[in-house]
Structure 1
């Protein structure tokens, strides 16, 4: 009896629901070259081809077992390039110093590099310098690319904006020259017309004081507008008017809980476990999941909500097309990387690799 005659109706019906990717894996295991691009029922094509080639039901079931052990990566799109811009401010001149932003950016950089991203890290810059670097980098990103932008450092809420504070920021009387806004980053990124833009801000969003920062509030009518291209995912590590937490885990020690305050001592910074902020710890853990970006962030946010310090992230999405950080690029990565290095040369706190 043939393969099709030996399969139960349930087994046959299950096969009809196979994805194209799973069918391609099984066909490869069987040594068959089958195109599933022009059919809405790849499972049916697979079974009929296996049946015509004389494969038995037992062989087919063995292929299913072997295929279940093969990790398939779904490709949703092939962008021109993938560029990650990772910004960390922790060595503040007037505000309290932070422990984790630079370490978190390094952890993210390693993960994203493994996913095929060109990585740009920018650490401990004045706001004016950061704006210059961002403008130059975005100019070199080809249209139809993926942009992954991450910022960790001090921040604050300004009406409906989030301000990212430069290392020179004073404790009061903050002006527009001491910070950049999320709108500025979105406006600059839109110039390269990205196929996907992911902007993640791991900052406190407590409202800045209007009385002690009158110049900043007076500048609100002049803030930058922005437009979105294709697919935008904007994620905040915490909701408006709330704090984000650095939950430190020191080697040879225990994780800090709600009732314990830890003061960094000399030498401790070298012993902080990478991915120490609640948000980045969850993000780095999930980057290995084969999910579209929107679903990935949903998982990350669920993990953060269940972290040690209660924190509710926020995701804003524009565009519904599925895109994955795993998607392979089609452009000339080497040329783009060279241009990135050329335009950022001379900025000591900026590294491209």
Structure 2
């Protein structure tokens, strides 16, 4: 009887350890934008912020985000990531920035690279093979995502010292030697990818939509990313995936079955609306615009990204403190009289603003509260939040 209990205890412990290991998902996110010797890139910092937030929301236990690293910093970050992959079930490395292919080998370019000669590539960059090496211990999936196929300015000025060594356009085709390894390029081998005119590159924007959908296999997710990018770039850019996985479903979203059932009906609609509003707000890029977005989308991945964008403008994203019920009953004080002047449609600006929002956003008190707080706390003569952002 004692032996039976002992064996049962070992079995239960092993089962719990196995379950814990299955949940161990780790990621390293690198965004290189501020290059010192060539023009900076517009999107990698935003892309890295967004992918980091996405993976955290998907249940990853460890997400390390680093930006604008020199060659020493990149090598250390990748080396340190190896400590977290030892017990990982799934390991992901995402890189946004410049990449280069030399002699059939792919390299990631740190921000301090000069690359005056083709001989400098090995000394001033980080080989893709190094990323694959540190991810080797991961048991179920090793995924490298490279938004690094941009048209490379280093190639145009690089002196050639070896006639036999080609410097390619884009990145070279790669075949992982380890099983259960996928490498996703923003564009197929030999082609370049667009940085994009929006807040995210076309490739990363598609990743944000599809990569961590609950119960969706990562291969299907990357297939949807490909289709999305082809559509948004009018067929000019085609992402490509190299490597292979086994026959079981591998998803990056670590929600429980019950959580998936609860969230699945609303994820697509709410995230799609938030994504559309986020892109529109980013084109404006002002504090007022981000405030309006956060009023409409106070929670979720895109609200976290919006707060990050607002913080870059040097203004913290404060939560509104004024409630709706306090505002209609307020009588204008002398010092605040300019904020409550009569509008063209009658009534104070506070009342008109609240009426507009109640009519167009019934029941959404967070938006109404933001409007009330914005008007009540502003001291600019004749100011109205609704007149600036929405109209009377």
Deviation at 1:211, TM superposition (A): 6.9
Q: Write out aligned runs for 1:72-83 (5 A).
A: 79-83=22-26
Q: Write out aligned runs for 1:166-315 (5 A).
A: 166-173=110-117, 174-190=120-136, 192-204=137-149, 208=155, 212-214=159-161, 228-249=177-198, 273=199, 276-290=200-214, 291-308=216-233, 310-315=236-241
Helix, strand or coil for the counterpart of 2:22?
coil
TM-score, L = length of structure 1: 0.57
Deviation at 1:140, TM superposition (A): 2.9
What is the rounded CA distance, in whole Å, between the counterparts of 1:229 and 1:328 in structure 2?
28
What's the counterpart of residue 3 of structure 2? Answer: none
Deviation at 1:181, TM superposition (A): 1.7
Deviation at 1:136, TM superposition (A): 1.5
TM-score, L = length of structure 2: 0.52
What is the rounded CA distance, in whole Å, between the counterparts of 1:145 and 1:300 in structure 2?
23
Distance 1:199 1:288, change over 3 A: closer
Q: Which runs of 4+ in 1 moved over 6 A?
A: 215-220
Helix, strand or coil for the counterpart of 1:94?
coil
Instruction: Give the aligned length.
Output: 224
The structure richer in helix per residue is 2
- Check whether the contact 2:213–2:253 (CA below 8 A) recurs between aligned residues: no
What is the rounded CA distance, in whole Å, between the counterparts of 1:279 and 1:213 in structure 2?
31
Deviation at 1:104, TM superposition (A): 0.6
Q: Which has the larger radius of gyration?
A: 2
- Check whether the contact 1:195–1:230 (CA below 8 A) recurs between aligned residues: no
Which segments of 5 or more consecutive residues in structure 2 lack a partner in the other structure? 1-18, 168-173, 257-392
- Check whether the contact 1:81–1:141 (CA below 8 A) recurs between aligned residues: no
Helix, strand or coil for the counterpart of 1:201?
strand
Q: Does 1:114 align with 2:57?
A: yes
C-alpha RMSD of the superposition: 3.1
Q: Does 1:136 align with 2:80?
A: yes
Which segments of 5 or more consecutive residues in structure 1 lack a partner in the other structure? 1-75, 250-272, 330-353
